[in-house]
Amino acid sequence: MSEASSSSSRAAVILRGLPLLARELVRTARARFAGEPDRMRAALEWVLERAEPGRPDSVLEVLDEFARSKRFLMNVGPVKGLLLDECVERAGPAARVLELGCFCGYSAVRIARRLPQGQLVSVEKNPGSVEVARQVVDFAGLAERVEIRQGASSDEIPRLAGAFDLVFIDHHKPLYLADLQALEAHALLRPGSVVFADNVGPLFGAHEYLDYVRGCGHYETRYHRSTVEYTELEDGAEISVYRGPKAEA
């Protein structure tokens, strides 16, 4: 049906998102007028005031509540978060996980709570995010399992060593492809490593990334249709299993 296919187009999703965007602009303006802190600091304050220390699930619930009722947070959210949970479970309790883009620490808490013997390395460019995320992770009682590195992914990836079992990509969308290729070039993926790319739905124009993982022959890959975090707008995650470099002819 033509209506169904057009609803998947970027323009259609953007149009459907306009009321949400307008609501968010009003919320942001109101918060600024009231002298409230920026959204990350406001989210941190909510966590410190309302969540239970040492209980990661409580931290996630409070951040979800903040994103729904106060101001939007570009976390992976509770819906696509279930897909991420499955990937972490499959990677196992001692997995070594890499995250590109930490923001408030929501996904770091989500991942690390399922890694009792594992470790998460998270790369985040924004120093303000790093400061907030470290406090959120610490409050959740997960600081020993999470290393947050402040820096651009293009600088930090070459400094990492050893393959990761799972990589969660959720930072600046135009960097997805170059950073994935850098992970390959620096031997940070092994056959069987899983790469979870968030926000590759129609709104985000991730064609180059999707064309690459689907066409390069290095991955077994699948698109999981979902919604943009905390909204009903279409989005998706691409979950790709690295098969190793293409065999020489």
- Which residues are designated catalytic? 170, 173, 198-199, 229
Subset of residues 168 to 227 that bind Ca ion, contact rule: CB under 5 A: 170, 198-199
64/170 with CB nearer Ca ion: 170
Span near Ca ion by CB under 5 A; candidates 90-98, 145-153, 163-171, 234-242: 163-171
User: Which backbone phi and psi does 70 adopt, to 5 degrees?
Assistant: -110, -75
Q: What is the DSSP string of 38-54?
A: PHHHHHHHHHHHHSPTT
**107 interacts with Ca ion by CB under 5 A:** no
Closest distance of CB 95 from Ca ion, Å: 20
| Nearest C-alpha neighbor of 168 from the set 225, 117, 216, 103 | 103
Span near Ca ion by CB under 5 A; candidates 87-95, 143-151, 162-170, 203-211: 162-170
CA distance 42 to 152: 25
126/243 with CB nearer Ca ion: 126
CA distance 198 to 112: 17
Closest distance of CB 197 from Ca ion, Å: 10
When CB distances to Ca ion are compared, the closest residue is 198
CA distance 144 to 165: 19
Could you list the beta-strand ranges (E) of 133-247. 146-150, 164-169, 189-197, 219-227, 234-242
Residue whose tokens read 């909204």: 231
Closest distance of CB 176 from Ca ion, Å: 11
Closest distance of CB 199 from Ca ion, Å: 5
80/113 with CB nearer Ca ion: 80
Give me the sheet containing 146-150, strands edge to edge: 146-150, 119-124, 96-100, 164-169, 189-197, 234-242, 219-227
Closest distance of CB 217 from Ca ion, Å: 27
129/199 with CB nearer Ca ion: 199
Applying CB under 5 A, the site for Ca ion has a residue count of 3
CA distance 85 to 191: 21
Please list the residues that pair with 121 across neighbouring strands. 98, 147
91/169 with CB nearer Ca ion: 169
Subset of residues 26 to 55 that bind Ca ion, contact rule: CB under 5 A: none
Q: Which residues contribute to the site for Ca ion (CB under 5 A)?
A: 170, 198-199
